[in-house]
Structure 1
Amino acid sequence: MSKQFVYLLSATAFFLAFTPVFAQTSAPSPAFEAAERALLEAEREQAAQWASLPYQSARDAYAQAQVLQLKRKKIDAERAAQTAEAQAALATAQTRQRKLAEQIERKISENNALRRNLLLGNGGNPP
């Protein structure tokens, strides 16, 4: 046997051995991509701190979707990915709402302090 034939034979064997592995891993579905984007957005907004319950639900649903995908339960995996996306979006919305509510409370406190200072004057006595 020539060296070229041996190289060709070993390259073919390598290709045949690993082709099924690559064929099994397909591109992520739109539902999985949307869930990943929603989870990244929730992480950027610090949802784990501000809206921990829906954020954790989103993470759990996404993990479940991945397991279902490995078990080749495509429809169930898609539903779980959609649930993960919805929960992550909820966590993001709740986080933004809570941050805004905190900013509003801070502004109200600042305005009340300014109002007291104006009414009482600098020395604490009314003008």
Structure 2
Amino acid sequence: MSKRFVYLSAITFFLAAASVHAQAPAPTPAFAAAERALLEADREQAAQWASVPYQAARDAYAQAQALQLKRKKNDAERAAQTAEAQAELASAQARQRKLSEQIERKISENNALRRELLLGKDGKRP
């Protein structure tokens, strides 16, 4: 065998191996659902209102991506499903906490108006 053939074969092998290794796995429905849930959690400001489940969702998604790169498909799918569930929980908790705060604010405003109506603006009974 000639040296030229060996070199060309080696280069061809390494180029082929590099292109196979560089290809990212195709996104699966579980990953797509997790990404949608994370986007929804971002819209709901879950990082502020429900930081614990939001961070758990982010961590689970990062773990799913790492497992996918290691070609551990089943584990990656489960981690993506966990990320989706945690993101949905974070969204729900964020909505609930924002609504609770709005309700408390309305109750406070109503109590102030009630006092104003009963006692007058100067704090004395009419």
Name the TM tier (shorter chain). 0.7 to 0.9
Q: Are 1:102 and 2:101 counterparts?
A: yes
Q: CA deviation at 1:45?
A: 1.1
Structure 2 counterpart SS, 1:124: coil
User: What corresponds to 1:20 in structure 2?
Assistant: 20
CA contact (8 A) 2:46 2:94 kept: yes
The amino acid that maps onto 2:50 is: A
CA shift digits 1:56-94 (9 cap, x unpaired): 000000011011101111000000000000000000000
User: What corresponds to 1:49 in structure 2?
Assistant: 48
| 1:62-77 superposed matches below 5 A | 62-77=61-76
Matches of 2:37 and 2:44, distance apart in 1: 11
The alignment yields a C-alpha RMSD, in angstroms, of 1.5
Gaps in structure 2 of 5+ consecutive residues: 1-11
CA contact (8 A) 2:57 2:87 kept: yes
Matches of 2:57 and 2:98, distance apart in 1: 20
Percent identity between the two aligned chains:
79
Matches of 2:124 and 2:94, distance apart in 1: 42
CA contact (8 A) 2:56 2:83 kept: yes
TM value normalised by structure 2: 0.82
